[in-house]
Structure 1
Amino acid sequence: MAPIDDPNDSVGRLACELREGRSRRGLTRWELAAEINRSVTTIQRAEAGEVRPTLMVARDMAAACDTDLNEIENLWKKAGRPGRGHRLTDAPRLKLVRTSADLAAALRRVWEENGEPSSRQMEERAEDRAKDYGTLSRMSAWRIRERKQPVTSVHQMHAYLIACQEPESSFVAWASAWHRAKRAERSLPKQAPAPASRHPRRRVTPAEAVAFMLQSGLKPLDPYPGNHTPWTAECTTCRSISRVRYSKVKAGFGCRICLQSRVPAGQGNGQSTRAPGHPKGPERGAASAAGHITRLEGVPVLWS
């Protein structure tokens, strides 16, 4: 049997007590493992003094070896206190649980105190006792222990406690805590729904949209398609045809070709921006080459 690295720290003292109890009983690790239905590896880890075993393992070993259970539990709790890089969640004692937040903290604490089993382990442990307490999925186990989801029923809470290897003798106290939390939740005043806006957003009618487009210098050539859908329209100034979005026109955008025609010399691309036939417009060859259309087929969306 390898010596304990530090028999004077809290985990080391717990391991020493477990070793001494087994020695007094005259059991080998294999015999003790068979008696408490655990693996030999579990016994070795508990007695190694490197990590704290789960509370259930420590209790089972103490009971099988006629060791003082209170002493083992005290040593076990000290082994998990700050100073070893493991800070337990602050949670009220079970009989003092009053709210859902209290209960969530207590459930988190019991998971920490029992070795912080993985979600997979918790699912498997709950599955072994599913006939008695129901199943517990990995996701539910994770969400409950991370306090992202409250336990929905006493049965689910019992499945969670089984997954944490909490003694079944404590289940009555846990159920009482759950009922207190639910009563407190029901007694809270219900929040009134937020008042409806006094100025609800009103959908624009097709007639209103057409009127606004004309006011903005754009003559619609198609029925109103919606606020954000491209809409084919003819500029009443340069006679070019383009597809614009009504939401952009409402935001102040108009005909891009007319806008480019107002760019000072040297800042634009030097291309024509007016359609042919306009009384003051230049030739449109450059505009067509640049992709500014004056026909309906294949017109681009200018303000997208």
Structure 2
Amino acid sequence: MSETHMKILSFEDLDGWAADDHEAAREVFLNTCNDFDAPDWQTLCAAATGIEDARKFFELLFRPVLIEEAKKGALFTGYFEPELDGSLTPSGRYRFPIYRLPTEARDGKWISRREIETTGALKGRGLEIAWVDDSVELFFLQIQGSGRIRLPNGSYIRVGYGGANGHKYRSIGAELVRRGVYNAHQVSAQVIKNWVKRNPVDGAELLRHNDSFVFFREVSRVPAHKGPLGAMNRSITAMRSVAVDPKFTPLGAPVWVEKDGAGPLRRLMIAQDTGSAIKGAQRADIFFGTGDAAGKAAGTLKDPGRMVVLLPIQRAYAMLPESVL
């Protein structure tokens, strides 16, 4: 881990703080604050509904803490919950299975994506949760780690991350750049999907460049109108939940986001999720919601800015090195 710098800010230092909907943020905070074990967080959770004004609640009981790593600037990206068309039984249309975790993959490294797809290692074992109609969308479902499957009768099932084969994720966008197909600034999820669909044979090989293979579990106990489960095993909320690196930001903590670039964003969010690519004190992934529109918005986001964590007052000052106090 690189050298880390911490600084306590005032709420006046937070650009746009006064204009935000603090009540909306408090409602999302309440979704997960009961899961805190530490006494100081439990106290804040108990007080969250006792102070009528939500902005006052945050300002009275928290302090904004800027946590930065040397030579590592902030990076905001977006993620979403895909929505695929599928069926609980296979057919000519629904040919691509969503698999549960096999026993062989529960400990350590198992076979690669290529081997799984070309040897039929999972076929006929009753591991299928559902079948979908698009192999490319299924690949991106694995990248996102959760999604909704829309069934022919109009109902839904929801799937969440259930494990992986132990192989390191390899970016197919980076591979397209390496091959000279695109420049780095041209690559997005939609560009990759379009290229694979235009080039079905080469596209299938491109997807197999990523050895990582993700398995799922059904999580349909979460109502369809609510967001998917995050790392805290609670539903996350579009544009109020953010994935962070828990080495630096406690899960469940409020996080003030100052995203620059196109469509600047100033908003209080709650750290309720994690991601394998979300590493660093100033690295965050904003949850945009479910479906194609959310996917398009999330897929274009790659912006700088600043992220500030709101911590209980005593905890915030205890984190500072003695030389700063």
Q: Which of the five TM-score ranges fits, normalised by the shorter chain? A: under 0.3
Q: Which has the higher contact order (CA 8 A, sep 6+)?
A: 2
Structure with max Cα Rg: 1
Q: What is the TM-score normalised by the length of structure 1?
A: 0.21
TM-score where L is the length of structure 2: 0.20
Higher strand content, 1 or 2: 2
Q: Higher helix share goes to which structure? A: 1
